[in-house]
Amino acid sequence: MKITFYGQNSLLIDISGTQLMVDPFISGNPLSKDLVDVNRIKADFVLLTHAHQDHTLDAETIAKNNNATLVSNYEIAMYYEKKGITVHPMNHGGSWQFDFGKVKYVNAIHTSSFADGTYGGQPGGFVIEGEHKNIYIAGDTALTQDMKLIPMQTKLDLAILPIGDNFTMGVDDAIRASDFVECDKVLGVHYDTFGYIKIDHEEAKRKFYNAGKDLMLLEIGGSLEL
Closest Cα to residue 21, out of 12, 29, 34, 9?
A: 12
The residue count for binding Mn ion (CB under 5 A) is 2
How many C-beta neighbours within 10 Å does residue 162 have? 29
| List 14, 140, 173, 192, residue binding Mn ion (CB under 5 A) | 140
What gap in Å lies between CA 112 and CA 49, rounded to an integer?
9
- Residue 140 or 192 having the CB closest to Ni ion: 140
Q: Residue 138 and residue 159: Cα distance in Å, rounded?
A: 8
State in angstroms the smallest separation of the CB of 138 from Mn ion. 11
The minimum distance between CB 224 and Mn ion, in angstroms, equals: 21
Give me the residues that bind Ni ion (CB under 5 A), please. 52, 140
Residue 140 beta carbon to Mn ion: minimum distance, rounded to whole angstroms: 4
Closest listed residue to residue 226, CA positions, set 162, 176, 159: 159
Residue 14 interaction partner, one of Mn ion, Ni ion, none, beta carbon < 5-8 Å per kind: none
Q: Which does 44 bind (CB under 5 to 8 A by kind): Ni ion, Mn ion, none?
A: none
CB of 49 vs Ni ion, minimal distance in Å: 8
Tell me how far apart the alpha carbons of residues 70 and 72 are, in angstroms, rounded to a whole number: 7
Contact residue for Mn ion among 54, 165, 173, 192 (CB under 5 A): 54
52 or 207, CB closer to Ni ion?
52
Q: Given the DSSP bridges, would you call strands 2-5 and 18-22 parallel, antiparallel or unpaired?
A: unpaired
Do the beta carbons of residue 165 and residue 177 sit within 8 Å?
A: no
Interacting residues toward Mn ion by CB under 5 A: 54, 140
